[in-house]
Amino acid sequence: MTASALQHYLQFSDLTADDYAYLFARAAFIKRKFKTYEKHQPLQDRTLALIFEKASTRTRVSFEAGMYQMGGLVVNLTSQGSQLGRAEPIEDSARVISRMVDLVMIRTFEQHRIKRFAEHSRVPVINGLTNEFHPCQILADIFTFIEHRGSITGKTVAWVGDGNNMANTWLQAAELLGFTVHLSTPSGYGVDHAVAGLRSSASYRVFTSPADACRGAHLVTTDVWTSMGYEAENEARKTAFADWCVSEAMMALAQPDALFMHCLPAHRGEEVQAEVIDGPQSVVWDEAENRMHVQKALMEFLLLGRIA
């Protein structure tokens, strides 16, 4: 396969709305098989390399368990335990690792790092979170929304909190799949339109007040005040984000059947009240589980294309 024929998944906009329709249907099929203990092993003898330059629980378990369930193998690397942490160029690492495996997932810092890896890789590369994007999480979140409420097209998603990797990815998804994001971030922590890679501002509205952002929303979602890599800003962020805590009062302004999502890990009492994340509108555990099902569909798609 030539480098130009490779399909990577570095940001949400790398796939089309049609690809997503396929992936959501395929993930539902794969999930049904998992739930009925039916084997689904199209990736026998394929190897996935997982490269973590930041911590992870869900991404690690979902990719590793998912690949084994599909009959494949997994190699785990971290910066500290590999030459990546001793300044081996990312381009050289890509050339070497991609000669030995069929697929690579990377969790790293700047998007340009994963982009450089992909440019020198012989195999598809998946973004398992960068400072700018978290496409696998939004894939799982939208799949979870569809499971509970049907199509997300035409709906409203309220984002309460940091203009971070999750916010950027929600905005890309809204542009591609035809829904609206109500965005409320503290001053100075907004989304950078250029970094988010948006075509226009037509699919989102900015609100100063988080409560106003939640009004009428079909889904309310948030994330930690301080993302990985930004720990030095923790104290300043605690002050700036104090009012960006998803509360029962905010949920009451959303649609009566609105869902609550959080990519996890969560900090109860900071970005969300315990009563909300542990309450009846929260679907965070389905959301976490669905990481595995959608990523199985994604890995199959990147390696084998559309099936049936």
Say if strands 103-107 and 180-184 run parallel, antiparallel, or are unpaired: unpaired
Binding-residue total with ligand CP (CB under 6 A): 8
Does 228 bind ligand NVA (CB under 6 A)? Our answer is: yes
How buried is residue 100: exposed, middle or buried, by Cβ count under 10 Å (0-12/13-18/19+)? exposed
Of 62, 73, 59, nearest to 102 by C-alpha is 73
Active site residue 58: no
Of 180, 134, 145, nearest to 257 by C-alpha is 145
Q: How far is the CB of 111 from ligand NVA (least distance, A)?
A: 12
164, interface contact from ligand CP, ligand NVA, none, CB < 5-8 Å by kind: ligand NVA
What is the x/- site pattern for ligand CP, positions 257-286, by CB under 6 A?
A: ------xx----------------------
136, 141, 263, 295: the active-site residue:
263
Q: How far is the CB of 136 from ligand NVA (least distance, A)?
A: 10
134, 182, 237, 262: the active-site residue:
134
- Return the residue of 64, 132, 175, 223 that touches ligand NVA, per CB under 6 A: 223
Active site residue 245: no
Does 293 bind ligand CP (CB under 6 A)? Our answer is: no
Q: What is the residue-wise DSSP string for 98-157?
A: TTT-SEEEEE-SSHHHHHHHHHT-SS-EEES--SS--HHHHHHHHHHHHHHHS--TT-EE
Active site residue 107: yes
| Only segment of 54-62, 88-96, 143-151, 206-214 that touches ligand CP (CB under 6 A) | 54-62
CA 296 to each of CA 36, 93, 124: distance values in angstroms, whole numbers, following the listed order:
16, 25, 14
Residues serving a catalytic function are 107, 134, 137, 223, 263, 291
